[in-house]
């Protein structure tokens, strides 16, 4: 009978790395010196070689450094290089907008794939229409294929908004050509692609006018509405000064005037783009988990009037909060059947991803089920809830700029499962539960960071949902000079 027992100590490798890091910082038993910008550091040759193919090649193969054990590194930012070398000993690295590019550059040179992957995940999680082209350029420059694919998909799926960005306007003609040649652009019609091109030309008309005939070859002008051809394209001054553009316009006119001859006009300009993805970007209603602590998620397609299954969440949970920010759905806290949670999961609706991510936002300070959650500007507020023992007064705020949680002034009354809404830079919290249903209402002024009690509800209620309805009175509509915004808070019990 085999009575052997395999014991695996999960912290062993981490403890060893921690000890090695301490020895390295003290310069004890180090056997290689690295100089960067005049500053000298001591390291363990074996650790560097095992962690980086760059150092492995340097010290193992036929390079002069393999014998002298003294290395001078140039072409890499010193602070970034120190962080990469620190990662080798700890497995941890702190990324932000100020350091991610030089760290990515250094990790690419030093062939530290784990750091490259971390930089890619950081950039991917912060992808938006204003920075996606720049991030794609970084992905191409530093050989990050997964990041490049994600940004490429994002750019095509969000082409209309990307085409309005400063980054788009600063592309060169070859980059513009690559974009507008693609079948993957998700637009409602070809007019949008044409308008994006004209906008790019007019941004620097004097220098870009010369590229218009070449780039118009990639606009599928025959697929443009005949009314648009007559009302807009024919009157474009850029067309009137280019013989080739006039030929392309004539081709489009023939396509519409002679439908029985369209089979003879089989060119890339007469082939529709893959617009299907455009129709998938629509309003949807999302449901996550349930009272039985499941990890399932579904969405409702308002256009098609159909339910669709989504990938399961990473953690079974119910009684959680949820918010949407820039095409990302965040699931906040909740209960997994055994424990109250402080974790956050994120699902992206934009970047072509099809999975949940639990590392994009750090866990909250407090565990919370039945929290109230909402977004104000670039910040997510999570209010109250139940931690498994007590109903909470505490409030936390997550900044999507600094990527940090901060504690906010606690509420006047502990409450969970309360309604929350925002109006005029103030958060209103309504009803909820603290052992009994509550009828109290309180308001948080984000300018003063203070809570104020408000008139109570007519009756106690929990699980309430509320929103603000803004309107103008009849008198205000008649007096434009004195118009003002008023609001009623609508409460759904």
pLDDT digit string, tens, across residues 166-198: 999 999 999 999 999 998 888 878 999 999 999
pLDDT at 406 over 80: yes
Query: Mean of the pLDDT values across residues 463-485?
Result: 55
Q: How confident is the model at residue 360 (pLDDT cuts 50, 70, 90)?
A: confident
* More confident call, 9 vs 467: 467
Domain ranges of the chain: 14-126, 175-278, 314-460
By percentage, how much of the chain surpasses pLDDT 70?
Answer: 80
Q: Which residue has the higher pLDDT, 35 or 336?
A: 336
| Number of alpha helices (DSSP H) and beta strands (DSSP E) in the chain | 20, 20
User: Considering only the top CATH level, what class is 14-126?
Assistant: alpha beta
Q: Region 8-35: what's the mean pLDDT?
A: 67
pLDDT at 475 over 60: no
More confident residue, 177 or 377: 177
Long-range contact pairs involving 251-258 (C-beta distance under 8 Å, separation at least 24)? 251/221, 251/222, 252/221, 252/222, 252/224, 253/226, 253/229, 255/222, 256/222, 256/226, 256/229
CATH 2.40.50.1020 is the classification of domain 175-278: no
What does the block give as tokens for 234?
């024919």
Residue with tokens 């990527």: 403
The reply to whether the predicted model has a pTM over 0.75 is: no
Q: Measure the CA–CA gap between 245 and 300, rounded to whole angstroms.
A: 45
pLDDT of residue 100: 93
Strand 284-288 to 356-357 pairing: unpaired
Pairing of strands 70-72, 32-36: parallel
For every residue of 433-478, which 3-state class applies, written as one string?
Answer: ECCCEECCEEEEECCCCEEEEECCCCCCECCCEEEEEEECCHHHHH
The C-alpha atoms of residue 109 and residue 76 are separated, in whole angstroms, by 8
Query: Quick one: which of 38, 114, 80, 46 has its CA closest to 55?
Result: 46
Q: What is the mean pLDDT of residues 433-446?
A: 92
Identify the band that residue 132 occupies on the pLDDT scale cut at 50, 70 and 90: very high
Judged against a pLDDT cut of 90, whether residue 29 lies above it is answered with no
Query: Is the model's pLDDT at 212 over the cut of 70?
Result: yes
Strands 426-430 and 395-399: unpaired
Q: How far apart are CA 493 and CA 487, in angstroms?
A: 19
> Going by C-beta distance under 8 Å and a sequence separation of 6 or more, which residues neighbour residue 144?
104, 116, 119, 120, 138
Q: Is 161 within 8 Å of 129 (Cβ atoms)?
A: yes
pLDDT beyond 60 at 472: no
Q: What is the pLDDT of residue 480?
A: 38
Beta bridge partners of 323: 330
First to last CA, the chain: 64
What's the whole-number mean pLDDT along residues 149-167?
Answer: 91
Contacts of 310 (CB under 8 A, 6+ apart): 286, 297, 298, 299, 347
Mean pLDDT for the chain? 81
Range 314-460: architecture per CATH: 6 Propeller (2.120)
């Amino acid at each position: 009978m085999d009575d052997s027992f395999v014991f695996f100590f999960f912290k062993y490798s981490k403890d060893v790395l921690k000890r090695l890091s301490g020895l390295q910082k003290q310069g004890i038993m180090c056997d290689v010196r690295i100089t960067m910008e005049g500053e000298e550091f001591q390291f363990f040759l074996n650790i560097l070689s095992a962690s980086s193919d760059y150092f492995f090649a340097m010290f193992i193969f036929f390079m002069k450094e393999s014998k002298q054990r003294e290395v001078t590194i140039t072409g890499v930012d010193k602070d970034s290089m120190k962080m990469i070398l620190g990662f080798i000993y700890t497995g941890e690295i702190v990324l932000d907008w100020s350091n991610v590019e030089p760290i990515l550059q250094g990790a690419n040179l030093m062939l530290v794939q784990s750091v490259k992957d971390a930089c890619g995940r950081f950039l991917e999680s912060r992808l938006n229409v204003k920075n996606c082209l720049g991030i794609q350029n970084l992905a191409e420059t530093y050989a990050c294929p997964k990041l490049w694919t994600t940004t490429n998909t994002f750019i095509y799926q969000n082409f209309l908004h990307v085409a309005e960005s400063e980054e788009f306007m600063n592309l060169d003609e070859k980059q513009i050509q690559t974009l507008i040649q693609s079948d993957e652009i998700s637009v409602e019609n070809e007019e949008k692609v044409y308008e994006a091109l004209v906008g790019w030309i007019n941004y620097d008309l004097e220098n870009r006018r010369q590229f218009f005939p070449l780039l118009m070859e990639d606009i599928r002008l025959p697929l443009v509405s005949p009314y648009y051809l007559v009302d807009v394209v024919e009157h474009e001054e850029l067309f009137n000064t280019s013989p080739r553009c006039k030929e392309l316009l004539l081709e489009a006119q023939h396509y519409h005037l002679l439908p029985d001859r369209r089979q003879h006009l089989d060119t890339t300009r007469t082939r529709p783009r893959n617009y299907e993805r455009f129709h998938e970007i629509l309003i949807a209603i999302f449901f996550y988990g349930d009272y039985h602590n499941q990890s399932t998620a579904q969405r409702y397609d308002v256009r098609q009037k159909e339910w669709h299954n989504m990938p399961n969440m990473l953690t079974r949970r119910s009684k959680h909060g949820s918010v949407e920010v820039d095409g990302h759905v965040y699931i906040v806290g909740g209960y997994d059947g055994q424990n109250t949670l402080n974790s956050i999961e994120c699902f992206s609706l934009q970047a072509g991803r099809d999975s949940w991510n639990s590392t994009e936002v750090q866990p909250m300070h407090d565990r919370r089920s039945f929290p109230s959650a909402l977004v104000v500007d670039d910040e997510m507020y999570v209010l109250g809830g139940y931690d498994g023992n007590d109903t909470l007064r505490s409030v936390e705020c997550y900044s999507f700029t600094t990527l940090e949680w901060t504690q906010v002034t606690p509420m006047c009354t502990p409450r969970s499962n309360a309604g929350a809404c925002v109006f005029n830079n103030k958060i209103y919290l309504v009803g909820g539960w603290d052992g009994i249903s509550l009828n109290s209402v309180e308001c948080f002024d984000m300018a003063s960071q203070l809570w104020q009690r408000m008139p109570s509800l007519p009756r106690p209620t929990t699980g309430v949902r509320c929103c603000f309805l803004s309107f103008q009175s009849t008198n205000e509509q008649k007096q434009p000079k004195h118009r003002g915004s008023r609001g009623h808070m609508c409460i759904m019990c």
